[in-house]
C-alpha cells in the first residue's frame, strides 16, 4: 500500500541548515579511496546527474570516489541543472515520447520533460561513443531525469540509482512547490502526467535511496511502488547531504557491485 504523499515537514526543511554534519566523513572516505585506488575494471560506465541548481562540480566527489573503485565515471555534461527552464516555449516541442495535450497553454509544465529529452539525446550520444550501455546515478531532480531516460532507453541503460529523487508528483511534494506555484505552473497537471508515464514501465533495476529526514523532497514521493524492479534503501541524511555522505557513497558502491547492476556484458 502506497503512503500518502506530502511535501517535507517544516522540521526537515529547517534541518537542512545542519547538512554539514552529513559530510564530516567525506574527506576521510576520499583519502581512503585514493590510497586503495583500483585500476578501471568495471564493465559499465557511470553517468552522474546533479540536482536542481547544481552542476557537475557537485557530483565530482562521488565520481572521484567511484573512479577509485575501478569505475569509469563522468558528469551529465549539460551544465547547471535549471530544471529545463527556457528550453521550450510550448508543448509541441517535446519529443513524441510525451503523450500530452500539445495545444495546452504552457506555463513551464514541459520544462523538465524537455530536460529529459535533452538527456536522452546525451545518453544516446555517449553510449555510441563509449560502445557500451551505461548506469545512471541521479541526485534529487537528476534522479528523476535518470529514471525517465531509462524508461526511454531500455537497451542503453543498465540500471538507475537515485538519491532523494521524486518518483511521483514532480515538484508538487517538494520544498520547491511554492516557487513553481508563483510561476503559475500547474502542479496537479504535472503530477497526473508523471503518473501516466508508468504505463511504460522502467524494467531495469532501480535503487532508490531515500531519507525520512529529507528537507527538500517528501520521502513518501520517493517511494516507487509501481516499477517492477525497485529496491528502496533508507538512510538518515539531509537532502543536501545525500550526494556528499560517505555512508550513502558506500551504499551506491554496494549496489553497483550487486548482481542486479553487473549483468554479463553481451
Say if 120 falls within a structural domain: yes
Task: Please write the tens of the pLDDT for every residue from 110-140.
Answer: 999 999 999 999 999 999 999 999 999 999 9
Q: Tell me whether residue 62 is in a domain.
A: yes
Residue 5 domain-assigned? no
pLDDT tens column, 209-246: 999 999 999 999 999 999 999 999 999 999 999 999 99
What confidence score (pLDDT) does residue 46 get?
Answer: 98
**Cα distances (angstroms) measured from residue 157 to each of 42, 215, 247, 263:** 15, 29, 25, 12
Question: Does 217 map to a domain?
Answer: yes
Single out the residue of 89, 116, 121 nearest to residue 105, CA to CA.
89
Name the residue among 145, 171, 173 with its Cα closest to residue 160.
Answer: 145
Task: Return the CATH number at 214.
Answer: 3.40.50.1820
Residue 1: what pLDDT? 45
Q: Is the pLDDT of residue 3 over 80?
A: no
Q: If phi over 0 gives left and psi between -120 and 50 gives alpha, with beta otherwise, what is residue 243?
A: alpha
pLDDT cut 90: percent of the chain above it: 93
Q: Return the closest-CA partner of residue 48 out of 119, 159, 137.
A: 137
Domain assignment of residue 196, given as a range: 10-258
> Above 60 in pLDDT, residue 56?
yes
In a domain, 28, yes or no: yes
In whole angstroms, give the CA distance from residue 131 to residue 150.
Answer: 17
- 18's CB contacts (< 8 A; 6+ apart) are 238
**pLDDT bracket for residue 265 (50, 70, 90):** low
Encode pLDDT of 5-37 as tens digits: 999 999 999 999 999 999 999 999 999 999 988
In the predicted model, is pLDDT for residue 266 greater than 80? no
Number of domains in the chain: 1
CA distance 14 to 265: 45
The confidence band for 104, taking pLDDT boundaries of 50, 70 and 90, is very high
Task: Report yes or no on 4 lying in a domain.
Answer: no
Query: 170-221 pLDDT, tens per residue?
Result: 999 999 999 999 999 999 999 999 999 999 999 999 999 999 999 999 999 9
Residue 69: per-residue pLDDT? 95
**Could you tell me which of 206, 237, 234, 63 has the C-alpha nearest to residue 143?**
206
pLDDT confidence band for 100 (50 / 70 / 90): very high
Residue 264 resides in a domain: no
Does 86 reside within a domain?
A: yes
pLDDT digits (tens, 9 = 90+) for 35-44: 988 887 888 9
pLDDT tens-digit readout, 140-152: 999 999 999 999 9
Mean pLDDT value of segment 81-93: 95
Cα–Cα distance for residue pair 146/75, rounded to 1 Å? 12
pLDDT value of position 2? 59
Amino acid at each position: 500500500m502506497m503512503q500518502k504523499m506530502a511535501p517535507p515537514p517544516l522540521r526537515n526543511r529547517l534541518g537542512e541548515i545542519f547538512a554539514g554534519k552529513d559530510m564530516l566523513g567525506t574527506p576521510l572516505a576520499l583519502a581512503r579511496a585514493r590510497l586503495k585506488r583500483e585500476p578501471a575494471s568495471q564493465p559499465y560506465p557511470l553517468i552522474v546527474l546533479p540536482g536542481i541548481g547544481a552542476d557537475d562540480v557537485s557530483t565530482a566527489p562521488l565520481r572521484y570516489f567511484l573512479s577509485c573503485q575501478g569505475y569509469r565515471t563522468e558528469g551529465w555534461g549539460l551544465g547547471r541543472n535549471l530544471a529545463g527552464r527556457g528550453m521550450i516555449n510550448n508543448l509541441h516541442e517535446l519529443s513524441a515520447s510525451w503523450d500530452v495535450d500539445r495545444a495546452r497553454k504552457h506555463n513551464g509544465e514541459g520544462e523538465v520533460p524537455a530536460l529529459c529529452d535533452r538527456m536522452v539525446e546525451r545518453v544516446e550520444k555517449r553510449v555510441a561513443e563509449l560502445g557500451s550501455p551505461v548506469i545512471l546515478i541521479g541526485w534529487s531532480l537528476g534522479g528523476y531525469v535518470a529514471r525517465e531516460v531509462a524508461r526511454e532507453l531500455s537497451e542503453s541503460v543498465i540500471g538507475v540509482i537515485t538519491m532523494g529523487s521524486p518518483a511521483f508528483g514532480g515538484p508538487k511534494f517538494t520544498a520547491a512547490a511554492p516557487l513553481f506555484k508563483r510561476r503559475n505552473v500547474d502542479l496537479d497537471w504535472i503530477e497526473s502526467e508523471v503518473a501516466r508515464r508508468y504505463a511504460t514501465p522502467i524494467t531495469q533495476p532501480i535503487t532508490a535511496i531515500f531519507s525520512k529526514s529529507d528537507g527538500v523532497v517528501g520521502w513518501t514521493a520517493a517511494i516507487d511502488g509501481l516499477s517492477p524492479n525497485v529496491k528502496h534503501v533508507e538512510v538518515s541524511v539531509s537532502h543536501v547531504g545525500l550526494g556528499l555522505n560517505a555512508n550513502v557513497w558506500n551504499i551506491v558502491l554496494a549496489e553497483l557491485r550487486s548482481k542486479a547492476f553487473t549483468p554479463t556484458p553481451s
